[in-house]
Amino acid sequence: MSYITKPKFKHPGLQTNELGLTRRDYEGSLTTLCGGCGHDSISAAIIQAAAEMSLEPHRVAKISGIGCSSKIPAYFLSKAHGFNSVHGRMPSVATGANLANKELYYVGISGDGDSASIGLGQFCHIVRRRINMLYIVANNGTYGLTKGQLSATADLGSKTKSGEESQYDSIDMATLAIELGASFVARSFSGDKKQLVPLLQAGLSHKGFAFIDIISPCVTFNNTDASTHGYKNTWENYIALSAVGFVPMRKEITTSYAPGKVKEITLHDGSVIHLHKTSNKYDPYDRENALHHINASKKQGKIATGLLYINQSTSDLHELQDTVDKPFNTLGSHELCPGNEALADINHTFR
Amino acid sequence: MKPTNIADPNYFHKVVDCQWACPAHTPVPEYIRLITEKRYTDAYMVNWNSNVFPGILGRTCDRPCEPACRRVRVEEKPVAICRLKRVAADFKSDIKDRLPQIPKKKNGKRVALIGAGPASLTVARDLMPLGYEVVLFERDQVGGGAMRTQIPRFRLPKTVLEEELNYILDLGVTCRFGEEITSMKALLQEGFDAIFVGTGAPLGKHLELPGYEQAKSNIHTGIEWLASVAFEHVSNIGKRVIVLGGGNTAMDCCRTSKRLGGEQVSVVVRSGFEEMKASPWEIEDAMAEDIPILNLHVPKRYLVENDKLVGMEFEKVRKEIDSDGRRQLVPTGDDPVIIPCDDVLCAIGQENSFPWIERDIGIEFDKWELPVLDKATFQSTNPHVFFGGDAALGPDNIITAVAHGHEAAVSIHLLCSKQDVKQRPAPLTSLDSQKMGIHQWSYDNNISNDVRYAVPHASKELTLHDLNMEVELGFDAQLAHKETLRCLNCDVQTVFTDKLCIECDACVDICPTDCISFTTNGEEADLRTRLLAPAENLSQDLYVSDVLKTGRVMAKNEDLCLHCGLCAERCPTAAWDMRKYLFNTAKAVHACQK
């Protein structure tokens, strides 16, 4: 752990965004995670993504559970709202917050322990309920905070630093999310910001439940050559389905790729995802194909990454519940308690 | 790009911007750290070994180190390097027992040094410990050269000058003061093994305009007048004084005039204010003493009444850029400006002068009347005769003279040891890890965000009435301590071991100034545009690793690195390490150690 404060001096040529802020203005406090932890790269990627999108920090809410992963919100966007909740219960808190104020960007940060073990039930239901948020799992296949036991996402046969071999099949969070109806599912790697940053931006812009499973190696307990979640294995075996580019709304769309080679996905807010196809013809709209592809890659020991699945025609929780346009937290007492006459009208509809 | 060769002694030296900029390559961060630790005497000796006159230079240096300071690339003002040097001198304890031992048995070689200024004194200091018999000739009765004659005592007190002068003379130098060398031919016949000429640039330039002949008893050249003041031959000046010129000599002239009875003292320069050669801080100090500086005034004639100087006439000009892009001074057409005065001090430049060196003794001179020299060895076309300081390459500054002195001493020692003078000894370098614990370093990496501290000055009500009262009071220990913490420790290098790197990006994510990138390799010009933040300062190198496991390379932009060590703290495999790079130029004592 570093004890000094990060120097205030910054690169004088650092770009400012539409709000006049630089990337440095989106930082949080200095990390207390182990040096080399993938989670720090995730913080850095979120910082970069938010800065490039000119997100107003006070329009963002960061919500997490318990675990190394759930410490991450302390290390980015210190001016944003934050809630460090109970183990595995981040989805409940996020659901409540989203119901109360649907106008914020919600970033849920969790880990494989928090979401695939103790909070698996909560995870399933938040996906089902289609909360409009970006849900990130920093997935290292181990319980780092309790010194390196195998987690539920550790692949069969993967070994920890102490030599313990996983006897069970792993839970695949991305597959699970697709099965349960998530409308944006991606997988990425903390070490590849070129892919991760546009995916985060797309996830933040996506209307509906966006899920990104990020392989984020635990450098202290699960970074051996025999671990499938270590840097070495991930660098060697991850395949990008497509190179991802992201153009925030209001920006002019320019692309260096030849026409026909790029699949454009325009999101509800007007921003655009560019998928530059690599050799295979991957269709991120095809749910069955996505599931098949993930499994097929896994069989070969490969990790399929990139935008795995997207569906823009689903509705989020507020649309399904047909809530009022204004966020609940701005409603006055008269609107929340309209009086006897209104109650009589409602009762009348049941007669 | 090819992987950076960090074994090249210049690679990391260049990263230490202040040291690289210093003509004598003083290890600046090293002595600043020693001051932080209140080890003033140690800090003084680091300086003494490199620049010979820490107390003098700590007050008078042209400080090429400060504009080079890395701090100006991330904030406004550099570390007050020069004034911290003075702190080391002010607070040190007795250093006598740290001075070099002089062998009782001499090596049988005799060396003559002409002129007792900084260049010759440096040669003397470097050669005395090697057993040379050093004879120092000086036309004045005392040593010090320009440090005594050109720098007023209110900037450099006599005690400070003489203390550092005597450290050298007391090593056993044979002083033949008051003895002016009038013939090099004659001196060559005295059988010295080597002769070093450090006679400076002793001729002040005159400005001969209409009226000069009648008025010349009240027109003085700056450097000669300052010398007369230093030797107390002159103790007053007219009430109204015009100083011509915009260099440091002009600043010293006007401030000295104020102390000798000048009431209306003004500095007049031909060029614009921005083109003035004086150091900004010297201009500030003159202006703080209420001395007006008139720029863009071209002197036209001396005004004389009854054979006495009464004023000067100037033409007002403005700057224009001509079709070739050169700056021209064009008359504005305004009425001429008349400034009444009793005395004029001409500080418009100085020149070398070697009337005493015969031109038929094998010492060649170029068309500017400067000796033809080898720029690395300072050897003239007579192999036994060396030049240094202003005498070698024309007017410059004290620290440059010291640097020349060191190199000339190396040359003289090589010559007297019958070795090739051109085979220069390699610099002395070391590169040592500063790691003490997982996140602990033996240097303070917690960078201070403070802005530069100003050196306190004595009140001008006092200083303007006393020619010898020092204006700058110097930092006290507390202020000095705070100022030292501003130093970024640029000599503690980020050293990267590519084989250990697992490409986790921890260093990239933590770096406060976006110096580190992992990317595909390319030509330098291309690579500079592809880094996390563009590397536009071409004077600063890129540190590039060999190819890593993913086929990428690590490319670090040295330009803005704060040397905070966070990359090394966050690195899980110690691929980054913070190592202190000490660099010292080889002195004469190292010249023949093979």
The pLDDT value given to residue A261: 66
Q: Which residue intervals of chain A are DSSP H helices?
A: 38-52, 68-71, 90-100, 112-116, 120-129, 173-179, 193-205, 231-237, 287-299, 317-321, 333-336, 340-349
Please tell me if residue B306 touches chain A, with a CB cutoff of 8 Å: no
3-state helix, strand, coil in chain A (%, to 5): 35, 20, 45
Strand pairing class (B240-244; B350-351): unpaired
The Cα–Cα gap between B160 and B149 comes to 14
Is a pLDDT exceeding 60 seen at residue B67?
A: yes
Is a pLDDT exceeding 70 seen at residue B344?
A: yes
Q: Please give the domain boundaries of chain B with CATH numbers for all domains.
A: 11-94+427-484 (1.10.1060), 99-201+352-416 (3.50.50.60), 204-348 (3.50.50.60), 492-583 (3.30.70.20)
The answer as to whether A275 is a domain residue is yes
Digit-coded pLDDT (tens) for B380-398: 999 999 999 999 999 999 9
Q: In which band, very low, low, confident or very high, does the pLDDT at A250 lie, cut at 50, 70 and 90?
A: low
Percent of all residues in chain B with a pLDDT value above 90, rounded to a whole number: 94
User: Which tokens hold the place of B400?
Assistant: 């440059």
The answer as to whether A184 is a domain residue is yes
The secondary structure element, H or E, covering residue B350 is: strand B350-351
Taking an 8 Å cut-off on Cβ atoms, the answer to whether A35 and B569 are in contact is yes
Which residue has 């007669």 as its token pair?
Answer: A351
Q: Reduced to 3 states, what is the DSSP secondary structure of residue B219?
A: strand
Please tell me if residue B250 touches chain A, with a CB cutoff of 8 Å: no
What does DSSP assign to residue A224? S
The secondary structure element, H or E, covering residue B44 is: helix B40-51
Digit-coded pLDDT (tens) for B356-378: 999 999 999 999 889 999 999 99
Is a pLDDT exceeding 60 seen at residue A257?
A: no
The answer as to whether A12 is a domain residue is no
What's the burial of B101, exposed, middle or buried (CB within 10 Å: 0-12/13-18/19+)? exposed
The pLDDT value given to residue A242: 77
Please, which residues 21-40 of chain B have a Cβ atom closer than 8 Å to chain A? none
The answer as to whether A155 is a domain residue is yes
Is a pLDDT exceeding 60 seen at residue B272?
A: yes
The answer as to whether A150 is a domain residue is yes
Taking an 8 Å cut-off on Cβ atoms, the answer to whether A35 and B562 are in contact is no
Average pLDDT over residues B527-545: 94
Number of domains in chain A: 1
Please tell me if residue A4 touches chain B, with a CB cutoff of 8 Å: yes
Contact B518, B552 (CB under 8 A): yes
**Cα dist from A280 to A174, A243, A283, A302, B410, whole Å:** 20, 12, 9, 15, 69
Digit-coded pLDDT (tens) for A55-109: 999 999 999 999 999 999 999 999 999 999 999 999 999 999 999 999 999 999 9
The pLDDT value given to residue A341: 93
Task: Say which of A1, A9, A14 has its CB closest to residue B533.
Answer: A14
The pLDDT value given to residue A270: 81
Digit-coded pLDDT (tens) for A264-285: 888 888 888 887 765 457 888 9
Residue type (1 letter), B128: M
In chain A, what residues touch B439 (CB-CB under 8 Å)? 1-3
Taking an 8 Å cut-off on Cβ atoms, the answer to whether A13 and B447 are in contact is no
The interface pTM score, or ipTM, of the predicted complex is 0.91
The pLDDT value given to residue A199: 95
Q: In which band, very low, low, confident or very high, does the pLDDT at A254 lie, cut at 50, 70 and 90?
A: low
Q: In which band, very low, low, confident or very high, does the pLDDT at B40 lie, cut at 50, 70 and 90?
A: very high
Task: Say which of A35, A220, A231 has its CB closest to residue B503.
Answer: A231
The Cα–Cα gap between B226 and B178 comes to 19
Mean pLDDT of the residues in chain B:
95
The answer as to whether A313 is a domain residue is yes
**Minimal C-alpha gap between B420 and chain A (Å):** 47
**Minimal C-alpha gap between A291 and chain B (Å):** 28
Sign of CA dihedral B27, B31, B34, B39: positive
The Cα–Cα gap between B346 and B365 comes to 27
The Cα–Cα gap between B384 and B391 comes to 16
Please tell me if residue B520 touches chain A, with a CB cutoff of 8 Å: no
Percent of all residues in chain A with a pLDDT value above 70, rounded to a whole number: 95
Residue B63 falls in which region: left (phi positive, over 0), alpha (psi -120 to 50) or beta = left
The Cα–Cα gap between B494 and B555 comes to 12
Please tell me if residue B451 touches chain A, with a CB cutoff of 8 Å: no
Task: Say which of A7, A36, A232 has its CB closest to residue B506.
Answer: A36
Please tell me if residue A31 touches chain B, with a CB cutoff of 8 Å: yes
The pLDDT value given to residue A262: 72
Task: Say which of B506, B564, B571 has its CB closest to residue A7.
Answer: B564
In chain A, what residues touch B508 (CB-CB under 8 Å)? 41, 44
What's the burial of B175, exposed, middle or buried (CB within 10 Å: 0-12/13-18/19+)? middle
Task: Say which of A3, A11, A219 has its CB closest to residue B504.
Answer: A219
Please tell me if residue B330 touches chain A, with a CB cutoff of 8 Å: no
Candidates B503, B512, B547; CA nearest to B532 is: B512
Nearest CA in chain B to A6: B512
**Minimal C-alpha gap between B480 and chain A (Å):** 21
Digit-coded pLDDT (tens) for B156-208: 999 999 999 999 999 999 999 999 999 999 999 999 999 999 999 988 999 99
Average pLDDT over residues A322-340: 92
Candidates B476, B402, B479, B467; CA nearest to B57 is: B402
Is a pLDDT exceeding 60 seen at residue A260?
A: no
Phi, psi of B67 (to 5 degrees): -60, -25
Is a pLDDT exceeding 60 seen at residue A259?
A: no
In chain B, what residues touch A5 (CB-CB under 8 Å)? 446
The answer as to whether A9 is a domain residue is no
Please tell me if residue B560 touches chain A, with a CB cutoff of 8 Å: yes
Q: Reduced to 3 states, what is the DSSP secondary structure of residue A111?
A: strand
The secondary structure element, H or E, covering residue B244 is: strand B240-244
| B472 Cβ contact list (under 8 Å, min separation 6) | B59, B83, B155, B455, B456, B457, B458
Contact B127, B108 (CB under 8 A): no
Average pLDDT over residues A294-304: 90
Is a pLDDT exceeding 80 seen at residue B26?
A: yes
Average pLDDT over residues A172-198: 95
Is a pLDDT exceeding 60 seen at residue B453?
A: yes
Q: In which band, very low, low, confident or very high, does the pLDDT at A137 lie, cut at 50, 70 and 90?
A: very high
The answer as to whether A195 is a domain residue is yes
**Which residues face B244 on adjacent strands?**
B268, B346
**Minimal C-alpha gap between A37 and chain B (Å):** 7
Report the CATH number at residue A141: 3.40.50.970
Angle at A102 between CA A98 and CA A107, to 5 degrees: 55
Task: Say which of A2, A35, A193 has its CB closest to residue B572.
Answer: A35
Average pLDDT over residues B269-276: 92
Contact A297, A174 (CB under 8 A): no
Please tell me if residue A233 touches chain B, with a CB cutoff of 8 Å: no
Mean pLDDT of the residues in chain A:
91
Digit-coded pLDDT (tens) for B311-321: 999 999 999 88
Is a pLDDT exceeding 70 seen at residue B83?
A: yes
Contact B153, B230 (CB under 8 A): yes
| A54 Cβ contact list (under 8 Å, min separation 6) | A17, A18, A19, A21, A248
Taking an 8 Å cut-off on Cβ atoms, the answer to whether B510 and A31 are in contact is yes
- CA–chain centroid gap for B359, Å, is 32
- Whole domain around residue A247: which residue ranges? 23-321
Please tell me if residue B93 touches chain A, with a CB cutoff of 8 Å: no
Digit-coded pLDDT (tens) for B210-233: 999 999 999 999 999 999 999 999
Please tell me the least confidently modeled range out of A62-76, B14-28, B326-340: B326-340
